[in-house]
A and B are shown apart, each in its own frame.
Chain A
Amino acid sequence: MVIAAVTLWFILEKVFLIASIIGLSFFIAMYTTLAERKIAGWMQDRHGPNRAGPFGILQPLADGGKLFFKEEITPVSSNRFLFLLGPALAMIVALVTSTVIPWGAPVLTAAGSISLQVADVDMGILIVFSVVSVGVYGIMIGGWASNNKFSLLAAIRGASQMVSYELPMSLALIAVLFMTGSLKMSEIVSYQMANGWNIVYQPLGFLIFFICALAECNRTPFDLPEAENELNFGYHQEYSSMKLGFYLFAEYINMFVSSAVMATLFLGGYDIPFVNEANWGLEPWLYSLISFSVMMAKVSFLLFVFIWIRWTIPRFRYDQLMNLGWRKLIPLALFNMVLSAAILLWLKS
């Protein structure tokens, strides 16, 4: 019976953790939309939304409410089932990716340590990659089921873009894995806590990874699947109401999760920089809280950079996109990988 009790406690803990991470993802995604509009405003010498509540902090609620009250249209010529599946898949995939990310130091209690990570599996980062690859189905199915030429074109663009940019992304990741020697997210973080952040040793790898992350999230300058002025909003052109909201929201959750992945892989995860926090002798829960805040600070910074880039750089042309991916980033990532391997071998011998 003891085993059953432990199992129930384990399930409760994980359910609570999953619920809070999903809630957190939604919350952050909501406020990323506000941040996006605010920062866009500031960069264009405007104020951004500032009417809904003080400084516009109720703007995301107003936007969401508006989406709920919009008329929901399903085109006659569309495939009903796939038309619904598209946004659902995009949202599910965006949320599932956050399972393996360690959000903070484990909380040590009398009952044992509670990890702030839903699943610390051995192949952690690989799960992120495989799930992100499924994400393209959300775009493809949505664009195809709409039965609209623009949507289909956008879906094809999206698929080819994702396939092209996953390659240099994984190649940049391999160089990181050479150093950490583990796919486990928690071990990647503890390696960085002991040896310094990966971005210091892998600046080129980080750059490549970041560019590819932009492309994977369909963010400007790689937002070809939803190019407003050439494809009429692309794959979600036929969508309305909350189905459109799901697509837009999934994009922001993707941004949040990929920022978290980058923070974990390259910026030391929940590590507090320049100090050895183990010597502070803090209460475990307080230390967990601080480490979680540090993680969130890193994620927020990366989200800011995402937005900053969006409002600076114009969109690539399709041929430029393919050129950059296949003829610039992949050779660079290969070079980075070989160089890292050579240096590591030289250091070991």
Chain B
Amino acid sequence: MQLTQRAKPVDRSPMTFLESLYLWNIIKGMGITLKHMFLKKATIQYPEEKRPFSPVFRGLHVLNRDAEGRENCTACGLCAVACPAEAITMEAAERLPGEEKLYREEKYAAKYEINMLRCIFCGLCEEACPKDAIYLSQTFAPANYARKGFIYGKQELLIPHPIEQPEAYHQALGDRQPSTKNANPPIA
């Protein structure tokens, strides 16, 4: 049964002498390559030019701070549970008196590591987080010489302090709004 009208029977008649010299078809092919010499190049010359990312691009993770520079993360572990690649590990610690300016709630992540070689950049950690403490930015992990270098700790993941380093903070924030979700009343 014929489904479409697009099928064409293959011409299997033997080649004539002129055809068997391949000349005309070679000239046609050379016309195509010559045309391509003058077409626009597809290359993006990387260090100078960069490919624009789409707004939903999921890149490297960022551990968020609130507007006063306190870490949002409470080490609840929901991101680690949500992670299908099991790339996230963390250790919780209790906030001591006097650390209220550092951590927003009574519990915080003393250690927070993401293995970027395991991570599949699915963004489920961002969806799981109830504190807006982790999100995926629009940069990707740079190359490294050792596997060790791909295990990112708090040092690499934390967003710069919004008050101490406002420029770097806004650069890391990108198009996002500063974190206000679940904000506690400021400390008196």
Bound together: yes
Residues of B close to A46: CB separation below 8 A? 41-43
Query: Roughly how many angstroms separate A326 CA and B76 CA in the complex, as a whole number?
Result: 80
Q: Are B40 and A45 in contact (CB under 8 A)?
A: yes
The chain A residue with its CB closest to the CB of B17 is: A328
Are B29 and A44 in touch, CB under 8 angstroms? no
B21 at the interface (CB under 8 A from A): yes
Interface residues in A29-61 (C-beta closer than 8 Å to B): 39, 42-47, 50
With a CB–CB cut-off of 8 A, which chain B residues contact A328?
A: 17, 20-21
| CA of A46 to CA of B36, assembled, Å | 10
Cα-based distance from A47 to B40 in the complex (angstroms) = 10
Can you show 15 pairs from A to B with CB atoms below 8 A apart? A42-B37, A42-B41, A43-B36, A43-B37, A45-B40, A45-B42, A46-B41, A46-B42, A46-B43, A47-B45, A313-B29, A324-B21, A328-B17, A328-B21, A332-B21
Q: Contacting B26 at CB < 8 Å: which of A311, A313, A332?
A: A313
Interface residues on A, range: 10 to 19
Residues of A within 8 A of B (CB): 39, 42-47, 50, 207, 308-309, 311-313, 324, 328, 332
Q: Contact at A45–B39, with CB atoms within 8 Å?
A: yes
Minimum C-beta distance from A152 to chain B (A): 30
Does B33 count as interface, using CB distance less than 8 angstroms?
yes
- Which residues of chain A are near B21, meaning CB under 8 Å? 324, 328, 332
CB distance from B39 to the nearest CB of A (A): 6
- Please tell me if the beta carbons of B43 and A47 are within 8 angstroms of each other in the complex: yes
Which among A43, A207, A311 has the greatest number of chain B C-beta atoms within 10 A? A43
Smallest CB–CB gap between A182 and chain B, Å?
A: 31
- Are B41 and A47 in contact, with the CB atoms below 8 A? yes
Inter-subunit contact B42/A43 (CB<8 Å): no
In angstroms, Cα B19 to Cα A328, docked, is: 11
Which of B26, B37, B40 gathers most chain A CB within 10 Å?
A: B37
CA–CA, A324 and B45, complex, Å:
43
Whether A309 pairs with B37 at a CB distance below 8 angstroms is no
Q: Complex formed: what's the CA distance from A42 to B37 in Å?
A: 5
State whether A312 and B26 are in contact (beta carbons under 8 Å apart), knowing that A47-B43, A328-B20 are contacts in the complex: yes
* Those 5 A-B pairs whose CB atoms lie nearest each other, nearest first: A42-B37, A312-B33, A43-B33, A45-B42, A312-B29
Q: How far is the CA of A42 from the CA of B38 in the complex (A)?
A: 7
- Which of A42, A47, A328, A332 has most chain B Cβ within 10 Å? A42
Instruction: Out of B30, B41, B43, name the residue touching A312 (CB < 8 Å).
Output: B30
| Cβ-defined partner of B33 (8 Å) among A47, A311, A324 | A311
- The interface bits of chain B over 25-37 (1 if a CB of A lies within 8 angstroms of the residue's CB, else 0) are 0100110111011
Where the two chains meet, the residues of B that have a C-beta atom closer than 8 Å to any C-beta of A are 17, 20-21, 23, 26, 29-30, 32-34, 36-43, 45
A42 adjacent to B36 (CB under 8 Å): yes
Residues of chain B contacted by A44 (CB below 8 angstroms): 36
- Smallest CB separation, B79 vs chain A (Å): 41
Residues of chain A within 8 A (CB-CB) of B39 are 45
Known: A313-B26, A328-B21. A308 touches B33 (CB 8 A): yes
CA distance A42 to B34 in the complex (A): 9
Residues of B with C-beta under 8 A to A308: 30, 33-34
Which chain B residues border A207 with CB–CB below 8 Å? 23
Contacts beyond the supplied A308-B33, A308-B34: 13 A-B pairs with Cβ under 8 Å = A42-B37, A42-B41, A43-B33, A43-B37, A45-B39, A46-B41, A47-B43, A50-B45, A309-B26, A311-B33, A312-B29, A312-B30, A312-B32
- Chain B residues lying within 8 Å of A332, measured Cβ to Cβ, are 21
Q: Is the CB of A309 within 8 A of B20?
A: no
A271 to B158, CA, bound (A): 73
A50 to B32 Cα, complex, angstroms: 24
Residues in A whose Cβ lies below 8 Å from that of B37: 39, 42-43
Residue in contact with B36 in the complex, picked from A45, A47, A309, A324, CB distance below 8 Å: A45
Chain B minimum-CB-distance residue to A328: B21
Chain B residues contacting A313 (CB-CB under 8 Å) are 26, 29
Task: List the B residue with the shortest CB-CB distance to A310.
Answer: B33
B residues in contact with A39, CB < 8 Å: 37
CB distance from B58 to the nearest CB of A (A): 29
Chain A residue with the shortest CB-CB distance to B37: A42
Shortest Cβ distance from B25 into A: residue: A313
Q: Which residues of A contact B36 (CB under 8 A)?
A: 42-45
B40 neighbours in A (Cβ, 8 Å): 45
A207 vs B40: C-alpha distance when bound (angstroms): 32
A313 vs B23: C-alpha distance when bound (angstroms)? 11
- B residues in contact with A43, CB < 8 Å: 33-34, 36-37
A45: which B residues are within 8 A, CB to CB? 36, 39-43
